[in-house]
Amino acid sequence: MTAPWWSQLFDGEEARAYHRQHGGDRRPLGQRPVVLVVDVTRAFTGEEGETLDESTARWPTSCGPNAWTAIPYLRQVIDLAIARGWPLVYTTAEVGAAARFGGTVKGELSAMGSPMDLPGAQEIPDAIAPPAGALVLAKPKASAFFDTSLVAHLIRLGADSLVVTGATTSGCVRATVVDGHSHGWPVFVVEDACFDRARLSHGVNLFEMNAKYADVLTTTELTELAG
């Protein structure tokens, strides 16, 4: 099997040091995975067809074309979850949270303002609209676990693993993955169903999450693992 592109971002001694932490053995998916769709909202996708410059002019947090490249893969993950009966949890930013909790990122209360509060910022694109029965959970910070009821929902659902998708790979996805791992769930990150503004940031964070907190796999690999 061809090594993923992000696994080649480090080489030599650096690559060997990471490899000693995580040799590549993949954990079992479990019988009751829960799929998390993290912050795939207008604030992070912008409008389809725009360049990154065009998209961030209106939505400072947008990932532009990278978001729309990932959405078809995300649709595949959602369809797989529906077909297998896996629970789906979507997250959005909590409107007004910056004023009460402080910004999700440090720029939110200064130069950038609070783009999470812009009209339409929390709209989920129609292409990946939550199906009936999916939970939509507003969160005040990067992690889906911070000051939310997510843990209670996962326990109630009988989750034995987490499948994480969405945005951004370096931000809310990574924060959610670290907290999911810290709470004891095996975590799987679907690389082509996640996105970030920059390919380098996306790749480095996939590499590091795979080395430390999660198993990173493609949509095709997830489908094969699901059987």
- What's the 3-state SS for 60-78? CCCCCHHHHHHHHHHHHHH
Q: CA 8, CA 31: separation in Å to the nearest integer?
A: 32
The lowest-confidence range among 94-103, 138-147, 164-173 is 94-103
High-pLDDT (> 70) share of the chain, %: 90
What pLDDT is attached to residue 104?
A: 62
The lowest-confidence range among 114-123, 147-156, 208-217 is 114-123
Instruction: Report the amino acid identity of residue 205.
Output: N
Q: CA 191, CA 218: separation in Å to the nearest integer?
A: 5
High-pLDDT (> 90) share of the chain, %: 76
Domains and CATH numbers, the chain: 32-226 (3.40.50.850)
What pLDDT is attached to residue 100?
A: 63
pLDDT of 113 > 60? The answer is no
Q: Which residue has the higher pLDDT, 92 or 114?
A: 92
**Beta pairing, strands 161-167 & 187-195:** parallel
What pLDDT is attached to residue 111?
A: 44
| Cis peptide upstream of residue 168 (ω within 30 degrees of 0) | yes
The conformational region for residue 12 under phi > 0 = left, psi -120 to 50 = alpha, else beta, is: left
pLDDT of 93 > 70? The answer is yes
Q: Residue 221: CB partners within 8 Å, gap ≥ 6?
A: none
3-class secondary-structure state, position 136? strand
Instruction: Report the amino acid identity of residue 35.
Output: V
pLDDT of 129 > 60? The answer is yes
pLDDT in tens, 23-41: 567 889 999 999 999 999 9
What pLDDT is attached to residue 74?
A: 98
**Beta pairing, strands 88-93 & 135-139:** parallel
- Provide the 8-state DSSP code for 94: P
Q: Give the confidence band of 46 by pLDDT, cuts at 50, 70, 90.
A: very high
Sign of CA dihedral 53, 57, 60, 65: negative
What pLDDT is attached to residue 112?
A: 47
Whether 138 and 95 have beta carbons less than 8 Å apart is answered as yes
What pLDDT is attached to residue 94?
A: 77
What pLDDT is attached to residue 108?
A: 53
Q: Give the confidence band of 96 by pLDDT, cuts at 50, 70, 90.
A: low
